[in-house]
Amino acid sequence: MGEPDLFGTPPGGTAEAGAEGASDPQATPANAPLAARMRPRTPEEFRGQDHLLGPGRAIRAMLDSGQPSSMILWGPPGSGKTTLAHVIAHETEATFVPFSAVTEGIGRVREIIKEAGARLRATGRRTILFCDEIHRFNKAQQDAFLPHVEAGTVILIGATTENPSFEIVRPLLSRAPVYVLNPLSKEDVRAILDEALASEDRGLADQRLRLEEEALAFIAEAADGDARRALGVLEAAAGLVGRGGHIDLGAAREALQHRFATYDKGGEEHYNLISALHKAVRGSDPDGALYWLARMIDGGEDPLFLARRMVRMASEDIGLADPAALSVAMAARDAYHFLGSPEGELALAEAAIYLATAPKSNRTYTAWSAALARARETPGEPVPLHIRNAPTSLMKDLGYGAGYRYDPNEPDGVAAQNYLPERLVGERFYRPGRFGHEKVVAERLRWWAERRREAAEHREKAEGDEDGEPGPAPSTRRST
């Protein structure tokens, strides 16, 4: 055997050897947490993410070619982002250098890049710079990676739990494609737990534990797709019962302590869940609406935010199909404001059920959007003279209010006159739907339109008679 080179790589060394500060994915201390000891070392040991590691899939093809490239791994905690980066480094014989954007700064990045450049020139060996929590870097710090990724000095693998669309700068996204890791299925988590119980060298086999099927199923379910959490609960349960102990459902529950909601009030999950709530209401599914409302409240969302959103739903998705929906939503907001949690949450639940089961119409929303668009397109259209107010004699002399007909004094209470600027006469913004109260509104509008036509015909006939023979006697109705 020869002497190691200045980077710590012995001649003919393996992929896990690397520079000072680099991590060896194969060498895990015996006293490390179970999740660290059970970290997969090869693609065959990796559980889940078949859409990335299955035959012919993107990352599997990269491993088969031995040519790693920069990427962003986006997924929830415990889905295997760090592990996958380790596997890529091992399979492609690259030096793996971990870095955390939470605890280290851009100065350390410069050191890693300098070392990577020297290593590449001296040995031809590539460096994978694994940046955990890359979204913690600001835009300027992320930009610092660009020239070195472009030049191939380092292969950047960034890991994030946040949506890269919002958190990663576009130039970096163009050089490092995003691969999405999904939460592990219950079956995958179950397989990981079984492996940990059976492994002699890295797992818990030497403790000779007895694990009830019900307890195993509970841990796999409660992990919510997070392998690290599942292994942590299993290890805690093993500590509770001791060597040769019996892990039943009670021990599993005690080890879990509390199952926290998967929710981030300031992150993507906030938008995902409020979108789910809104769409469940729009889709007339009270069960879905209640579930997503409960998830958000249990996750710590501000209930008044939810109340405000339901007020919006009442106008946007229900409108005049059920005019009471807006009153119910406003009342729920006031009730919560008055009672607080947990009592006031019931008012929000009541509103969610009411909105979900109400007839739906977006005609108010579309009418307002259309009217707003036309108002912006025609900001200079004058108000027709006949519907202008005339509080002064000068304004009367200028024709303000001339020809205006007071609707209540007209036959059937409908005057034959227009209320839009001359350029827009005949346009319709609001077209009522066929459901709920809007059926009544539609009939009412049709009736008014017919009365206006009749009034216009009567008016034209009267004006024609004035030009020729006398017409019928004027109405005896009093005008005001």
pLDDT in tens, 93-150: 999 999 888 888 788 888 899 999 999 999 999 999 999 989 888 888 888 889 999 8
Last residue of a domain, one of 207, 235, 256: 256
Q: In what order do the strands lie in the sheet with 95-100?
A: 95-100, 127-132, 155-160, 71-74, 178-180
Helix (H, G, I), strand (E, B) or coil at 178: strand
pLDDT band at 262, cuts 50/70/90? low
Are 109 and 47 in a shared domain?
yes
Q: Angle CA(238)–CA(242)–CA(244) in degrees, nearest 5?
A: 95
Is residue 351 a part of any domain in this protein?
Answer: yes
Are 307 and 233 in a shared domain?
no
Number of folded domains that form the chain = 4
Which pLDDT score is estimated for 2? 39
Are 415 and 286 in a shared domain?
no
Is residue 448 a part of any domain in this protein?
Answer: yes
Task: Record the tokens describing residue 75, joined without a space.
Answer: 């997924």
Which pLDDT score is estimated for 284? 94
Are 112 and 46 in a shared domain?
yes
Which pLDDT score is estimated for 412? 82
**Statement: residue 258 has pLDDT above 50:** yes
- C-alpha to C-alpha distance for 282 and 423, rounded to whole angstroms: 36
Residue type, 52: L
Are 172 and 215 in a shared domain?
no
Last residue of a domain, one of 180, 205, 232: 180
Is residue 473 a part of any domain in this protein?
Answer: no
Q: What is the rounded average pLDDT for all residues in the chain?
A: 85
Measure Cα distances from 454 to 115, 275, 414, 431, 439 in Å. Answer: 89, 48, 10, 22, 23
Is residue 102 a part of any domain in this protein?
Answer: yes
Task: Record the tokens describing residue 6, joined without a space.
Answer: 């200045």
Q: What is the CATH number of the domain that holds 344?
A: 1.20.272.10
Is residue 444 a part of any domain in this protein?
Answer: yes
**DSSP of 449-479:** HHHHHHHHHHHHHHHHHHHSS--SPPP-PPP
Residue type, 352: A
Which pLDDT score is estimated for 27? 59
Are 96 and 120 in a shared domain?
yes
Is residue 303 a part of any domain in this protein?
Answer: yes
Task: Record the tokens describing residue 68, joined without a space.
Answer: 């790693």
Which pLDDT score is estimated for 5? 34
Which pLDDT score is estimated for 1? 37
Which pLDDT score is estimated for 109? 86
Return the percentage of the chain with pLDDT > 90, whole number.
54
Q: Considering only residues 309 and 475, tell me which one the structure prediction assigns the higher pLDDT.
A: 309
Say which range, 2-16, 33-47, 334-348, has the weakest mean pLDDT. Answer: 2-16
For the segment 141-186, what is each residue's pLDDT rounded down to a tens digit? 888 889 999 888 999 999 998 889 888 999 999 999 999 999 999 9
Are 245 and 277 in a shared domain?
no
Task: Record the tokens describing residue 174, joined without a space.
Answer: 């163009």
Sequence-separated contacts (24+) of 335-339 with Cβ below 8 Å: 336/303, 336/304, 336/307, 337/304
Are 58 and 114 in a shared domain?
yes
Query: Minimal CA–CA distance to 127: which of 117, 139, 138?
Result: 117
Are 38 and 169 in a shared domain?
yes
**Statement: residue 224 has pLDDT above 60:** yes
Are 70 and 168 in a shared domain?
yes
* Continuous segment of H or E residues that includes residue 400: none
Cβ-Cβ contacts under 8 Å for 28 (sequence gap 6 or more): 36, 37, 39, 202
Which pLDDT score is estimated for 266? 58
**Statement: residue 480 has pLDDT above 50:** no
- C-alpha to C-alpha distance for 63 and 92, rounded to whole angstroms: 6
Are 48 and 91 in a shared domain?
yes
- Residue 413: give the domain boundaries: 385-467
Is residue 16 a part of any domain in this protein?
Answer: no
Q: What is the CATH number of the domain that holds 109?
A: 3.40.50.300
Say which range, 54-68, 304-318, 452-466, has the weakest mean pLDDT. Answer: 452-466
For the segment 16-46, what is each residue's pLDDT rounded down to a tens digit? 333 344 444 455 677 789 998 999 989 999 9
Measure Cα distances from 21 to 10, 98, 125, 269, 387 in Å. Answer: 16, 8, 16, 35, 80
Q: Considering only residues 407 and 347, tell me which one the structure prediction assigns the higher pLDDT.
A: 347
Return the percentage of the chain with pLDDT > 70, whole number.
88
Helix (H, G, I), strand (E, B) or coil at 249: helix
- C-alpha to C-alpha distance for 202 and 473, rounded to whole angstroms: 106
Which pLDDT score is estimated for 22? 44
Are 56 and 149 in a shared domain?
yes
Helix (H, G, I), strand (E, B) or coil at 132: strand
Among the ranges 261-270, 319-328, 427-436, 466-475, which has the highest mean pLDDT value?
319-328
Which pLDDT score is estimated for 470? 52
Which pLDDT score is estimated for 263? 59
For the segment 357-379, what is each residue's pLDDT rounded down to a tens digit? 999 999 999 999 999 999 999 98
Phi, psi for 73 (deg, rounded to 5): -100, 115
Scanning the structure block, which residue is given the tokens 């005008």?
479
**Statement: residue 397 has pLDDT above 90:** no
Last residue of a domain, one of 327, 345, 360: 360
